[in-house]
Amino acid sequence: MSGKKTAIITGASGGIGAGLVEGFLGEGYNVVATSRDANRKLTTSGGLVLLDGDIGKQQTAASAVEAAINNFGTVDVLVNNAGIFLKKPFTDFTAEDFDALVSTNLLGFFYITQRTVKEMLKQKSGCVVSISAALADRPIAGVNGSISMITKGGLNSATQNLAIEYAKDGIRFNAVAPGEVDTPMHRKDPNGLTLQPAMAKATVKDIVDAVLYLAQAGHVSGEILHVDGAAPARRW
């Protein structure tokens, strides 16, 4: 077993997830990283365990937590990064869209967070950081993601409720709410629509820095940290 802290990071094969893996390894954490395609080489490190699996399945959550305990002894941080974002007019969303969003964004959060909290209760310490979205409470005209935001707004609400529920147990819950981030997901946005017209897109490092801050800020809990360049503050 290792004396270092251990982080579980979901959705870790690319973009923000891969950046989070590198960021936590750089801060000296052991990392268990999950994704649907975790076989790609993220980095070379004895403190990294890669797991394939759909985070919307209970077995993926079980495997991740077991890997953290069996390999490193603790689960100190969980980063719920895995997520999907669908953007279309409200009346064009389908039941299949809804099911996909709920499976990844909500069941993915529920299964692994519940199992992780059970371990953190034994330790009387821990931190959960979830990646939500600035659009959940800062909507922008023309960016039609209403059903996606049902799930992301749900993460914000759950974060604040869980922060109160587990404050006495030393477990903190926070969320990072990005705007548009320079990742392959947003490079494919149609019609050249940008969520942040007055500032450059956030970088992966901007999001990683925010997550690392919340992971290490021992007296911060129940916060939704927006990393969106204050886009809604501009009239455009």
Per-residue pLDDT in tens (0 to 9) along the chain, 236 residues: 557 999 999 999 889 999 999 999 999 999 999 998 755 555 546 799 999 999 999 999 999 999 999 999 999 999 999 999 999 999 999 999 999 999 999 999 999 999 999 999 999 999 999 999 999 998 888 899 999 999 999 999 999 999 999 999 999 999 999 998 876 554 455 444 455 455 568 899 999 999 999 999 999 999 999 999 876 655 44
Residue 95 lies in a domain: yes
Residue 147 lies in a domain: yes
The whole domain housing 115 covers: 6-179+203-225
H helical segments located in 73-136 = 95-101, 108-123
CB 64 within 8 A of CB 75: no
What is the domain count for the chain? 1
Residue 82 lies in a domain: yes
Q: Which two tokens stand for residue 161?
A: 């409720």
Question: Is the whole-model pTM more than 0.85?
Answer: yes
Residue 158 lies in a domain: yes
CATH number at residue 69: 3.40.50.720
- 126 torsion bin: left (phi>0), alpha (psi -120 to 50), beta (else): left
